[in-house]
Amino acid sequence: MPQPPAPGPEGTRPPDEVPGPGAPDDGPGPQPADDGPGPGPAGDLAIETRGLTKAYRGGQLAVDDLDLAVPRGSIFGFLGPNGSGKTTTIRMLMGLIEASAGSARVLGQPMPAAGRRVLPKVGALIEGPALYGFLSGRDNLRRFDAADPYADPRTRTARVGRALERVGLAAAAGKKARAYSLGMKQRLGLAAALLQPRELLVLDEPTNGLDPQGMREIRALIRALAADGTTVFLSSHLLDEIEQVCTHAAVMARGRLITQGTVAALSATVLDSRGHGRLTVTTPDTADTVRVLKEHGLTGLQAADDRVTGELPSADAAMGTSGGGAPPDLADLNAALVHAGVRVRGFGTERASLEDIFVQLTGEGFDVAG
């Protein structure tokens, strides 16, 4: 990794700005000169990559020519099947591994070159939590905080306490981390990312291992952080999670970026491309239902147990069928079913979920991309 060769202990670099003794941790004051170029060309992007590529030994591309643009202030969902290159991308963004080609900017500054200036403003949870089992939860946080040369030791105890409270671990803070459940470890990992006020949070599957209650709490926490202006970069394979909290999303598959944009735009694009929605009828008389719906021009009919689903025809496709012209009114369809003696328990359309979009974009295959 092309870190600039430091001429000595990195920590002895003279500070850019020396506030008076006893100045508060986050006190107002002039920004240090190295705070970056301000709102430059990349000023409104929290993360920007250009042609980012990582080839592992053997030449296999884990990440292939990735152009990612994460707007500041967004909650950005980073989606992809296992092995699609999400974690590799995050590791490159955090300066843990070196890119084979391309460049990455985080908070407007090049990574990994500006890591020492950028990373204190970034909280990260990468590929699950990693803790010292023989230390208590609180001491784990103290340890990670001590590793940050920008962290004021005088406020350490208070900040550690606040972070523990935010993730609901205050009561278990004195327990050895090896006795923690997976969910508790996950919370402690999150707490480590929240030790300082951050401009960017990079969270790799933050709700992994949490119970439903914990997931809700973490989602609420993420929303609260975002409401305060923190950009959240959230990688997950839980699609409803992304759908619930994210404003933007990107989808990766086999190391390549398939699409990115706002969640609403993604849904709209995919909805357009696949027709006008899907009708679902719940009924014990599936055979009759299929017959009636087919007469009304529905396509892709599938019957399973007591459910029949099918694509509503678009306007032009409906021309040649009975009724002609406009696509069938849902009320008429329902009436037609009832007239045909079909007993209808449920009737309605589904809008395309992020899951549908995801599967459509990345393929149905269950096999991990190798």
Partner 1 sequence: MSQAEALPRTPRPLWSLGLLRSEITMTFRRWRTLALLAVLAGVPVVVGIAVKIETGDGGGPDGGGGQGGPAFLSQITHNGLFLVFTSLAVTLPFFLPMSVGVIAGDSLAGEAHGGTLRYLLVAPAGRTRLLLVKYAATLTFCLVGTLVVALSALLTGALLFPVGEVTLLSGTSVTFAEGLLRALAIAVAVALSLVGVAAVGLFVSALTTSGIAAMATTVGLLITVQILDNLPQLHALQPYLFSHYWLSFADLLRDPVYWDQLQKNVGLQALYALVFGSAAWARFTTRDVTA
Q: Residue-wise over 148-158: b if at least 16 C-beta within 10 A, else e?
A: eeebeeeebee
Residue 116 within binding range of partner 1, rule CB under 8 A: yes
Q: For residues 224 and 104, what is the distance between their CA atoms, to the nearest angstrom? A: 27
3-state secondary structure of 261: strand
Residue 85 within binding range of partner 1, rule CB under 8 A: no
| Closest CB 39 distance from partner 1, rounded Å | 13
Q: Which is nearer to partner 1, 146 or 179 (CB)?
A: 146
Residue 46 within binding range of partner 1, rule CB under 8 A: no
Residue 120 within binding range of partner 1, rule CB under 8 A: yes
Name which of residues 240 to 259 contact partner 1 (CB under 8 A): none
Single-letter code of the amino acid located at 181: S
Q: Tell me which of 196, 260, 283, 286 binds partner 1, using CB under 8 A.
A: 196
Q: For residues 8 and 108, what is the distance between their CA atoms, to the nearest angstrom? A: 27
Single-letter code of the amino acid located at 101: A
Residue 217 within binding range of partner 1, rule CB under 8 A: no
Give first-to-last CA distance, the chain, whole Å.
Answer: 26
For residues 193 and 203, the answer to whether their CB atoms sit within 8 Å is yes
Residue 130 within binding range of partner 1, rule CB under 8 A: yes
β-partners of residue 78 are 235, 250
Residue 198 within binding range of partner 1, rule CB under 8 A: yes
Which regions of 57-156 does DSSP assign to beta strands (E)?
A: 61-66, 69-71, 75-79, 101-106, 109-111, 122-125
For partner 1, how many residues bind (rule: CB under 8 A)?
67
Q: Tell me which of 228, 305, 316, 364 binds partner 1, using CB under 8 A.
A: 228
β-partners of residue 303 are 308
For residues 177 and 107, the answer to whether their CB atoms sit within 8 Å is no
Residue 6 within binding range of partner 1, rule CB under 8 A: yes
| Closest CB 253 distance from partner 1, rounded Å | 21
Q: Tell me which of 91, 105, 138, 187 binds partner 1, using CB under 8 A.
A: 91
| Closest CB 178 distance from partner 1, rounded Å | 11
Give the closest residue to 46 by CA, choosing from 78, 68, 77.
68
Structure tokens of 360? 């459509």
Q: Which is nearer to partner 1, 3 or 302 (CB)?
A: 3
Residue 94 within binding range of partner 1, rule CB under 8 A: yes
| Closest CB 104 distance from partner 1, rounded Å | 14
DSSP 127: S
Residue 370 within binding range of partner 1, rule CB under 8 A: no
**Crossing angle, helix 354-362 and helix 263-273, to 10 degrees?**
70
Q: Which is nearer to partner 1, 135 or 301 (CB)?
A: 135
| Closest CB 25 distance from partner 1, rounded Å | 6
Residue 97 within binding range of partner 1, rule CB under 8 A: yes
Angstrom distances, CA of residue 154 to CA of 142, 143, 147, 157: 12, 14, 14, 7
Residue 272 within binding range of partner 1, rule CB under 8 A: no
Residues that bind partner 1 (CB under 8 A): 1, 3, 5-6, 9-19, 25-26, 31-32, 34-35, 91, 94-98, 115-117, 119-122, 124, 126-128, 130-135, 142-153, 189, 192, 194, 196-199, 225, 228-230
